[in-house]
Amino acid sequence: MALPTRTTPRAPAGRPTSRRPAARHFRLGGIDPATLGVVVLWVSVLVALPIAALLALSLSGGPQGFLAAVTRPSALTTLGLTVALAAAVSLVNAVMGTVIAWVLVRDDFRGKQVLDALIDIPFALPTIVASIVLLSLYGPDSPIGVHLAGLRAGVMLALAFVTLPFVVRAVQPVLRELDTEAEQAAASLGAHGWTIFRRIVWPVLMPAVASGTGLSFARAIGEFGSVVLIGGNLPGRTQVASQYIQQLIEAGDQAGAAAVSVVLLAISFLVLTTLRVTSSRMQQREEAA
Amino acid sequence: MRQSRTLRLSLRALATVYLGLLVAVPVTMILVRALAPGLRTWWQWVTTPAAISALNLTLLIIAIVVPLNVVFGVITALALARGRFPGRAVLQTLVDLPFAVSPVVVGVAMIALWGTNGWFGWLPQHGIRVVYALPAMVLATSFVTMPFVVREVEPVLRELGTDQEQAAATLGASRFQVFSRITLPAIRWGLTYGVVLTISRALGEYGAVLLVSSNLPGVSQTLTLLVHGRFVDDHNVYGAYAASTVLMGLALVTLLVTTLLDHWKKQR
């Protein structure tokens, strides 16, 4: 808690909070050392130490051991498949998410609220329930005769389900704030619908679409629960990286599991960091403009 | 942009069909399948001893994780919003890290730290079981839900500033009074939102918990592990459907609460 000591001079009214009295600098800018210690301890025990231990475990066989674990044919196959499936699903999301957001903002019809509410369900549902839910319609005893269990299409379906909200929820607010005047002006000058979309709407939507697509990619490459039941865990065909890691753990190869985990973690960390850096750069540019 | 009628209707149809096939029909389907044999059968399957024990374990984990995340989450948010200290950027990254980690990787990390071969592997030798027991399930759940409270409370604290707290302190309020009368009321809605998100995620956590649980029915299965166990180990598809509807019901309650909170926030 940020509390001034008794010796701190009274701040005159209207003083901006960013300007701090010099006396408080040694207090780490308003946080006393004990509080900071608690925070560091908590974050370390909960997050930093497990991740550090994971890194150490992945390197327990030396750098060669790490390389050998992640370049085994089985590891390369499953990592490649995971990245490919995640990329494909993210592309589907980029297109369908934009279409859905467009319909939800620009169209008006009965039942629109229901569609809008459906978007939130995938984030609220536990992933294992998502798997069962999809299996009840597309599983072995499918009432409509569509059998996707054990197929890549089934894995993609599961990934598309759990990542559905990312692009929709990123694009919707941007589209809502987009002024239609420029579009009307272009139309009055004779521009066609597609030209207007490409030249006027898309440049504004693009950052939001890219950010939603990146988030859904980062989520999809680590996805586990929703894929477990519908994917069938077939090595080389439907087994994704997180299932491969679990299999290594069950086989007692902890160092190998840790090495593949580190690769997975590095990919999603890289994607998320890139997104954060580009979005903060764009914000700065906007503020400068 | 003026759209032709055909384009508008086809986009509308495309969005509706996609959402229908991906979300609406499957979700309805599982309800139909779970309730088709009658409410009585459904009730029997969701009240078996293993199911009751799974519900209790899930609730127990939530009951431990929520207070932990609230207390430490608020303190962390205070440090991030107000502190100027070396390593602040590292702390920010660490707080966001759980969002980037696959649940299975969380499980592996827990094993790497707390397992018998891990850094804290000496604990089990002293009779403290962490992995394949409740503590690791709590730690794993706490790991994946850690960012929620921090990220909901931190922006509120930033907006609040410290003027009111300083004024109260100069008027002689104790630290506790300042916190309970000024800080806490200001952050209570953000905190509530963070808690609901935490509960929602904790209810549904599966991958991380699967790796660190001994997964014994009636002993160390959470609701999500029960669904998995019934479907995969027992080939009890109906039982898995029934257990799923319980989780689904709980998830929809948390969704409803977040929607109401959102609505309330917008109105203000």
End-to-end CA distance of chain B: 32
pTM, two decimal places: 0.90
Residue B145 predicted with pLDDT over 70: yes
- Structural domains for chain A: 22-57 (no CATH), 62-288 (1.10.3720.10)
Q: At what angle do helices B237-267 and B49-82 cross, to 10 degrees?
A: 30
- Both B192 and B139 in a single domain? yes
- Both B27 and B72 in a single domain? no
- Both B166 and B139 in a single domain? yes
**Residue B236, domain CATH:** 1.10.3720.10
Whole-angstrom Cα distance, residue A191 to residue B126? 76
Residue B222 predicted with pLDDT over 90: yes
List, for residues A87-141, the tens digit of each pLDDT value.
Answer: 999 999 999 999 999 999 999 999 999 999 999 999 999 999 999 999 999 998 8
- Both B121 and B158 in a single domain? yes
- Both B31 and B134 in a single domain? no
Q: Is A102 on the interface with B (CB under 8 A)?
A: yes
Whole-angstrom Cα distance, residue B222 to residue B59? 9
Identify the band that residue B2 occupies on the pLDDT scale cut at 50, 70 and 90. Answer: low
Residue ranges making up the domain that contains B106: 39-267
List the Cα angle B104/B108/B114 in 5-degree steps: 140
- Both B18 and B133 in a single domain? no
The pLDDT > 70 percentage for chain B reads 99
- Both B20 and B80 in a single domain? no
Contact call for B112 and A265, based on CB within 8 A: no
Residues with Cβ within 8 Å of residue B115, at least 6 apart in sequence = A254, B121, B130, B131
> What is the count of structural domains for chain B?
2
- Both B45 and B17 in a single domain? no
Contact call for A193 and B7, based on CB within 8 A: yes
- Both B29 and B63 in a single domain? no
Q: Compare A267 and A32 and report the one with higher pLDDT.
A: A267
Question: Which residues in B lie closer than 8 A to residue A119 (C-beta atoms)?
Answer: 19
Q: Which one-letter amino acid corresponds to residue B145?
A: T
Residue A244 predicted with pLDDT over 50: yes
List, for residues A2-19, the tens digit of each pLDDT value.
Answer: 444 333 344 444 444 444
- Both B46 and B124 in a single domain? yes
Q: Using alpha carbons, list the distances in angstroms from residue A111 to A107, A108, A124.
A: 11, 9, 21
Left (φ > 0), alpha (ψ -120 to 50) or beta: where does A213 sit? alpha
Question: Which residues in B lie closer than 8 A to residue A164 (C-beta atoms)?
Answer: 22-23
Residue among A99, A137, A249 whose CB faces B25 most closely = A137
End-to-end CA distance of chain A: 37
Shortest Cα–Cα distance, A103 to chain B (Å): 6
Whole-angstrom Cα distance, residue B23 to residue A118? 7
pLDDT at B184: 92
Q: At what angle do helices A33-43 and B49-82 cross, to 10 degrees?
A: 140
- Both B255 and B156 in a single domain? yes
What residues of chain A, 244 to 273, have a C-beta less than 8 Å from chain B?
245-246, 249, 254, 257-258, 261, 264-265, 268-269, 272
DSSP A26: G
- Both B111 and B46 in a single domain? yes
